[in-house]
Amino acid sequence: MIRCKRWTALTIAVLTMSPVIAAAQSSMFAPDRVGHWYLGGGVGGYWEESNSQLRHQDGQFGGFFSGGYRLSRNIALEIDALSSYQRLDTPPGVPSSEGRSHLTSSGVGGVVKFILPLDRFELYAGGGAGVYRTSLWTKNSQFDSEADDTNVGYQGLLGVDYFLTRSFSIGMEYRKFKLDAKLDPAIPGKIDAGGDFLFATFRGHF
């Protein structure tokens, strides 16, 4: 009977203190990020859109680096540098002795993020646009005007951050990137140089 009373008292104490602890944790992390700048980045896998002109792609990866400002509890603005890389069979229109070529896309854009703070976790979704350059390379040379193209690209993103401390977080992020490129005569027609990214991310707030 005494043991039962002890467990009952402990249960009541835990249930009584839980809302207080949760409120303390929420107030400890969420307000610290509003009105502050942050820097972040990520690396991960990249899956390009289907293009009939490209053959046997591999070695695909991407990365980004960004700086942002937390306008409010639920909105942030970022300047974002995004890059992707892949290897592929050298197109027939490229005069090269190498059997493999390299296709890269990189550029800078602006992103708006909508954030749902949940104590140490933050869920977010967003999107933006920017200017990106797509280039076709071989091992021995870089093709200039005939294999480079600069265009406006668009992206949407979903992600989650987990705050290890008040000012540092790690997370995961998915991006859908849309970018058209025209690399005639090296690659005939228009290709979609965008694709899907899955990043492991980090961010530091100051």
pTM of the model: 0.79
Predicted confidence (pLDDT) per residue in 125-155, tens digit: 999 999 999 998 876 555 443 578 899 999 9
Predicted confidence (pLDDT) per residue in 28-46, tens digit: 466 778 999 999 999 999 9
Distances (CA, A) of 139 to 97, 100, 101, 151: 9, 8, 7, 25
Predicted confidence (pLDDT) per residue in 94-116, tens digit: 766 567 788 899 999 999 999 99
